[in-house]
Chains A and B, each alone.
Chain A
């Protein structure tokens, strides 16, 4: 079974979100990395970019397809995990840890309450 940590929030587009005060860390779920399998290219957002909730702001590419990664929250990108660009396999091997994509300074707290719980997300990927 795929790993879905209880302490994280999720989106139906397979991003995970870790809330730390007014900063959210975002990555892709174990389910997503498994579906993509070998990742051959990653494009991360620039630090300082302002994104809206649901906006495509990163791209993950496997041999077969390019997949957009959507920002789960509105805000400003404060950090991007450029370490991944040197070793994309980290996304597959540690999706919830070293495999994080970017951090956002949250501009609208209300959006946080609309994120999915682990149980909600589990139902979505089982459907």
Chain B
């Protein structure tokens, strides 16, 4: 067995064990990779509803009179476009324009933002944020608070609305844009009362389905989970692990930090240009991104043409027209439960990036034909 390092546990750890979750090390957290089978959990989210523990993700509060200005300097998307109750996908870059992390910003109250960052990037993000803040002129008017012992879950799938409206049945508090969670539109967040505790509910997710993400104290999130499973039969809900989370996000073509994104990759290469506002004024990485007009490689989606072994991270991508070297490499791959065939994302040289381009994926020394396709593989109906 590998050397034992002390893994962190979320407030829902015991619930995972009780549900038969198979626990693995994910970014230093002991997390469920699956409970029943990946396929069952994947299909539950696509056809009905599934619930994920996402308490391992970092929760950060940025507040203060200059919080908006600071976030607009720290992040690539334009935070000033948000009203209280809005959420935005964004990126944090280094001076070279490489991606430090991809994250969600939720504007939760006047001069107060909730940032949800990747578990695997929490330490790097925090030191980067504090480094940028340290030389920020208005640093005295910005407060950064990393929430410890917080909890979060994602309820995802076409029937997610049933679960949320049954469990959260009191109106919103503190001037949210909506009265009930069901009124939330995609990328909106509201504050609600749950058993006397505040809980933030947003209409966001990482599966390509309708759904909600809930953020609160660890204690409240455990209560929420228990109430959901108290009515498990009624909701026909399944707990879903990191395995299904990965295949779901890949079908939806959402990037995963460490696979499609890293510090050597720009948002432009990753196909995330719409989340970069070059017009909003200065931000970390802007100068480098302004200069990067020629994009040499791009993140693309491909699917295998016939039944083959599933493509995997690291496999080489070849073109029939270039004999001596690969034109790229796979960053994520799996057997798609919805398409029933191998799918993946890869970085390839820009000249090979139009949809319809014929590719070959090298798997254990053999080349198998694939076709470059438009993102995403799966779109909810």
Cross-chain contact B38 with A37 (CB below 8 angstroms)? yes
Cross-chain contact A38 with B309 (CB below 8 angstroms)? no
Question: Given contacts A63-B247, A63-B335, is CB(A37)–CB(B310) below 8 Å?
Answer: no
Q: Is A61 close to B, CB under 8 A?
A: yes
Cross-chain contact B364 with A41 (CB below 8 angstroms)? no
Residues of A within 8 A of B243 (CB): 63-64
Rounded to whole angstroms, the CA-CA distance of A66 and B1 in the bound complex is 19
Residues of B within 8 A of A61 (CB): 309-310, 335
Instruction: Tell me the smallest distance from the CB of B138 to a CB of chain A, in Å.
Output: 46
Task: Number of A interface residues at 8 Å Cβ cutoff, please give it.
Answer: 13
Residues of A within 8 A of B309 (CB): 41, 43, 59, 61, 66
- Specify the chain B residue showing the minimal Cβ separation from A62: B38
Cross-chain contact B364 with A64 (CB below 8 angstroms)? no
Instruction: Tell me the smallest distance from the CB of B339 to a CB of chain A, in Å.
Output: 12
Question: Given contacts A37-B34, A37-B37, A38-B37, is CB(A63)–CB(B337) below 8 Å?
Answer: yes
- Specify the chain A residue showing the minimal Cβ separation from B363: A66
Cross-chain contact A40 with B364 (CB below 8 angstroms)? no
Residues of A within 8 A of B312 (CB): 65-66
- Specify the chain B residue showing the minimal Cβ separation from A42: B309
Q: Which residues 279-334 in B have Cβ within 8 Å of A in the complex? A: 307-310, 312, 334
Q: Which residues 33-58 in A have Cβ within 8 Å of B in the complex? A: 37-38, 40-41, 43
12 additional A-B pairs beyond A63-B39, A63-B247, beta carbons within 8 Å, are A37-B34, A38-B38, A40-B310, A41-B307, A41-B335, A43-B364, A59-B364, A63-B310, A64-B38, A64-B334, A65-B312, A66-B312
Query: Contact residues of B with A, CB < 8 Å?
Result: 1, 33-34, 37-39, 42, 243, 246-247, 307-310, 312, 334-335, 337, 364
Query: Contact residues of A with B, CB < 8 Å?
Result: 37-38, 40-41, 43, 59, 61-66, 127
A–B Cβ pairs within 8 angstroms, 13 of them:
A37-B37, A37-B38, A38-B38, A40-B335, A41-B309, A43-B309, A59-B364, A61-B335, A63-B243, A63-B334, A63-B337, A64-B243, A65-B312
